[in-house]
Chains A and B, each alone.
Chain A
Amino acid sequence: MKITKDIIESHGIKLDEYSKIKQLLDREPNYLELGIFSAMWNEHCSYKSSKVHLKKLPIKNKNVIQGPGENAGVIDIGDDDAIIFKIESHNHPSFIEPYQGAATGVGGILRDVFTMGARPIALLNSIHFGDPNNKETKNLLNGVVSGIGGYGNCIGIPTVAGETKFHETYNENILVNAMAVGLANKKKIFYSKAKGVNKAVVYVGSKTGRDGIHGASMASAEFDENSEDKKPTVQVGDPFTEKLLMEACLELMKKESIISIQDMGAAGLTSSSVEMAHKGNLGIELNLDKIPCREENMSPYEMMLSESQERMLIILEDGKEDEARAIFKKWDLDFVVIGKTTETKNLSLKFKKKIVATIPIDALSSKAPLYDRKWSKKKLSKKKTNIKELKKIKFDEAFFKILSSPNHSNKKWVTEQYDQMVMGDTIERSGANAAIIKIHNKDKAIAVTVDSSANYCKSHPLSGGKQIVSESWRNLISVGAKPIAITNCLNFGNPENPDVMGEFAENILGVKEACEFLDYPVVSGNVSFYNGTNNNNIFPTPVIGGVGLIKNLKKIQNHRFKKIDSKILIIGKTFGHLGQSVLINEIYNMNDGMPPEVNLLNEKNNGEMVLKLINEGFVNSVHDVSTGGIILALAEMSLSSQIGVKILKPKKLSNMFEYFFGEDQSRYVVEVDKNNYFKIEKLLNDNNIYFENIGVTQKDNFELDKDLKTSVKELYEINNKWYNNFNGLIS
């Protein structure tokens, strides 16, 4: 079949890229080879637009065992235990079919983690939807939430934390990011690097169907007949098979038979085989007649590009086939030797006794295109918030409106669809500063969180980048964990647009600066470009997944007030920054202005002090101050404990709105016993930590000087309405 310009373009390959392919092969590729190039050279697999920027990120500290470049990142948490984790996007599939898109997103990220030898112990997610008034939103929300729950609940891994946000920027392009965290023995970590020639390449798991084969690339003359049947199909997740695959892999990993293992994710068999060969500096030969297929008459093109779920590729040590086969048979899974490693450094495919493709591995990996795309610096807003505007609305009205808004309402409707307790080690569930998962049968735990701040990143990508890393760090500190490392999912618009590329480049610099300062490196991640439609790009939405370590289970903390008549302190200075705050954005609909700046030195000092206070047992509860400012933080502490507060007018008050709704960074609310107060005051003063004493806890009522008086019960009702109303339920 002749490769025409249309075919090349329908594969998403640019004409200059096609010339490069010809040059690398020293001939024209055939149709199958072109498909393979398109799968490996696309943005998702090659990181061709992002690599030059990603290289700037710090990827090491003393805990890091494996940074980016493997299926997931690995950190050391002592006693031979390692935590393996990663976040990944599944945005586009979830917009087309929300349930299956989200479900397969969860399935994919779980495979990344157990492929490396970890038993997954927690799932997290960050999901962003369009305006609730947009007619698609309800259906997408319901589908995505059920899909995330459907997969995680069935496979039996608790979904312990996440964020659910709404903004019109996602009307045409929702975000579904899933994160998985697993526990492994540090001496038994499995990598994708192939070793040795003539080793058996084994296919395990589900059969291959025509799932997810790239739509555009199918639009060619060859498929005109029976085109209905040949249309690309939506990937359907099968958590039951994944559970079997996970148990089988973990069982096999206890033996000494795996040389390397790689899951088949995006670009399925193609990317997994190329990845293994590339890392091992070897070639790989596959016999496509052996591939277990779900449909009859599947072509090599379809087999190589299928994104059927729940499949793995394993390279085995000599003589271990029978042992491995018996394990997969026990779990009723396919196990087929489909090829071998070779010296040739080629990807070589056989089908019906003929060689149907031969491509040098490096042409698909290290020689793939790399772009340093044009980018332009963000033009920053110079507008200052007009305080006079604020007087138009009453203080308590603004507060109630935020508390009942889609983004700040109680998310029980979402989280109660996720099994958070299975595996029996969830100490702190959704709704906390960070979730806490106990390491099974040990006296230690990890804390995990996901965070994003799209409007901060939109208005100032650099500070936004610093802020999200800092917020993640702060969330872990608040539960008493020492933050160790992060994974990031970078959701951006079209990288060919210099403004979007600018957002990306500057945002990475912000992330880098904070990660370096806080010794909080990036160990894994994923870039998702092309979010948006027709030049209508989404707000830059990097999502940070953070992991921290709690060495002593007696030293954990949460945000629930514990006692009546405790003192409430704010650690960190309040300047009253309202630019990009919830108050300004959501109540006044003003979208300009700068986000709050992060002072990394204060961030670090305040955080370390809070950790010290927790470790000394000086605090009864801790909450970080984030969107919505001090008042939202206090409300969340009251709502979760049913204990009220009596807050006094701050001495250095400029304006009530600024003080209580301001979103200055690096702040925490802490509850302390009156008896401990002088000790704490001294400790904070001795260490030059700025703090303010703003009031006390009290029974039942939520009071703020003369501006607000209500009951916690009433707050609870205000906070619990939105989701039920939105979904037509009676609250």
Chain B
Amino acid sequence: MNSTVIVFPGSNCDRDVATALTKLQFKNKMVWHKDNNLPKSDLIVIPGGFSYGDYLRSGAIAAKSNILKEVIRAANSGCLILGICNGFQILIETGLLQGALLRNRNLKFISKDVYLKVINNDNKFCKNYKKNNIINLNIAHNEGNYFTQKDHLKELEDNALIPFKYCDKEGSINDKNNPNGSMNNIAGILNNKKNILGMMPHPERMIDSLISNTDGIELFNSVLN
């Protein structure tokens, strides 16, 4: 499988996700934002970080870069796209995913391990997880508070477009276990065609039990087979 990681000035999880992809046997390439050509890829990852310092709005400036035009083209032809954290914000700014990511409810940067429930596994990113699996991933963001219009929210819920929701250790989903104030505890969403996933938690940080845990591995493995 060929993967590509897009690097913007200010990306800082590019190396981490590349390490994860390589460890899991992807053939990975890094592509600089000024490039116009995208190598042939089965998976394109837009990594976390602070592209352009998060200035103006998180992800807004990266969304205008050269390479993003190519990413949009690839997305429209069905290529799998994964946006993690700032990558999710960028996907929203490009319009590939709908909604908005607002400041965290407590107005602070939040960095901690959170529990997520796999709500929908009927997609190429989550098929190796079982439905209602509870996994533990790290979050680290300022703007992860997902907001969208009511009818879009309904569409997300009705069409199984929400793979992950924040929950507690036992899996109950309520406001107390919502770290950032996201609507319906949403931690990640898919587009209608389910080939684009944007998520705030970092699966690439959870691939080694010595460092953290291995709950992120199955996300990449799902894409592999």
Contacts and interface: CB of A to CB of B under 8 A. Distances in A.
The answer to whether A and B touch in the complex, with CB atoms under 8 Å apart, is: yes
Interface of A: 146, 149-150, 153-156, 238-241, 243-244, 331-332, 412, 415-427, 438, 440-441, 553, 729
Contacts of A422: 12-13, 16, 48, 140
B53 A239 contact: yes
A149 B11 CA distance: 16
Contacts of B39: none
B175 to A, nearest CB: 12
A47 B191 CA distance: 61
Contacts of A239: 50, 53
Given A153-B50, A419-B140, A438 B211 contact: yes
B143 interface: no
A604 B110 CA distance: 40
A553 B106 contact: no
A424 B112 CA distance: 14
B111 A729 contact: no
7 contacts: A153-B140, A156-B11, A239-B50, A419-B109, A421-B205, A424-B19, A440-B19
A156 B53 contact: no
A424 B205 contact: yes
Nearest to B16: A424
Interface string B109-128: 11110000000000000000
A156 B13 contact: yes
A244 B9 contact: yes
B12 A417 contact: no
B18 to A, nearest CB: 10
Nearest to B207: A424
Contacts of A416: 108, 110-112
A426 B50 CA distance: 20
B93 interface: no
Contacts of B49: 156
A154 B55 CA distance: 11
Contacts of A155: 12, 50
Report, nearest first, the 8 A-B pairs whose CB atoms are least far apart.
A156-B12, A240-B53, A424-B16, A419-B140, A154-B50, A419-B111, A421-B205, A421-B138
B109 A146 contact: yes
Given A240-B50, A418-B111, A425 B9 contact: no
Contact of B9 (A146, A240, A423, A553): A240
B165 interface: no
A146 B210 CA distance: 29
Contact of B106 (A241, A332, A729): A729
A435 to B, nearest CB: 12
Given A416-B111, A424-B15, A438-B210, 19 more contacts: A149-B109, A153-B50, A153-B140, A154-B50, A156-B11, A239-B53, A240-B9, A240-B10, A240-B50, A243-B50, A415-B111, A418-B109, A419-B111, A421-B138, A422-B12, A422-B16, A422-B48, A423-B16, A425-B211
A421 B140 contact: yes
Contacts of A419: 109, 111, 140
B109 A150 contact: yes
B15 A427 contact: no
Contacts of B112: 412, 416
Nearest to A428: B211
A243 B140 contact: no
Contacts of B19: 424, 440-441
B147 interface: no
Contacts of B212: 421
Q: Which of A150, A331, A424, A441 has the most CB of B within 10 A?
A: A424
Q: Which of B15, B19, B109 has the most CB of A within 10 A?
A: B109
Contacts of A331: 9
A156 B142 CA distance: 14
A417 B110 contact: yes
A156 B111 contact: no
Contact of A424 (B11, B54, B204): B204
Contacts of A146: 108-109
Nearest to B110: A416
B202 A421 contact: yes
A618 B16 CA distance: 34
Contacts of A240: 9-10, 50, 52-55
B25 to A, nearest CB: 16
Contact of B111 (A238, A421, A423, A424): A421
Interface in B15-59: 15-16, 19-20, 48-50, 52-55
Nearest to B179: A416
Contacts of B13: 156, 422
Contacts of A153: 50, 109, 111, 140, 142
B128 to A, nearest CB: 21
A158 to B, nearest CB: 9
Nearest to B211: A427
B166 to A, nearest CB: 15
A423 to B, nearest CB: 6
Nearest to B34: A330
Nearest to A438: B211
Contacts of B16: 422-424
B50 A156 contact: yes
Nearest to B212: A421
A243 B50 CA distance: 10
Contacts of A244: 9-10
Q: Which of B55, B110, B210 has the most CB of A within 10 A?
A: B210
B111 A332 contact: no
B88 to A, nearest CB: 16
A415 B113 CA distance: 12
A729 B105 CA distance: 12
Interface string B132-175: 00000010101000000000000000000000000000000000
A243 B109 contact: no
